[in-house]
Amino acid sequence: MFTRRDGTRIESIKTSFAAACVKAGISDCHPHDLRRTCGSWLIQGGTDIARVARILRHADVRVTAKVYAHLRTEDLEGELEALTQRATGT
């Protein structure tokens, strides 16, 4: 996710990230928090769970589902409405 100006990957950003957080006045924030935020925003934005797993480079989509699936509820609302309609005959 993080690269140098020439496009090569930065192996560890911990020191630079910590310094940037201090400079910005942000406490208790870690690089992994950005990863979690990215995954959360993708799911909440409607991105398919399998695509999120690929973006986050999870080896198994079940890991992604376990961590992020609870954030996506829009599809549940439609299903519950359909169930209600079937139950009431409307």
Mean predicted confidence (pLDDT) in 64-81: 81
Counting beta carbons within 10 angstroms of the beta carbon of residue 35, is it exposed (0 to 12), middle (13 to 18) or buried (19 or more)? middle
Q: Domain span at residue 79?
A: 31-88
> Residue 2 falls within a domain, yes or no?
no
Task: Provide the pLDDT for residue 87.
Answer: 87
Percent of the chain with pLDDT over 70: 98
Counting beta carbons within 10 angstroms of the beta carbon of residue 64, is it exposed (0 to 12), middle (13 to 18) or buried (19 or more)? buried
> Residue 26 falls within a domain, yes or no?
no
> Residue 82 falls within a domain, yes or no?
yes
Alpha-carbon distance 68 to 59, whole Å? 15
Mean predicted confidence (pLDDT) in 12-23: 87
How many structural domains are present in the chain?
1
> Residue 21 falls within a domain, yes or no?
no
> Residue 52 falls within a domain, yes or no?
yes
Q: What is the CA radius of gyration of the chain?
A: 19
Look up residue 77 and give its two tokens.
């609302």
Mean per-residue pLDDT over the chain, rounded: 87
Task: Provide the pLDDT for residue 51.
Answer: 96
β-sheet bridge partners, residue 3: 9
Q: What are phi and psi of 21, to 5 degrees?
A: -65, -45
> Residue 36 falls within a domain, yes or no?
yes
> Residue 53 falls within a domain, yes or no?
yes
> Residue 5 falls within a domain, yes or no?
no
Alpha-carbon distance 84 to 9, whole Å? 51
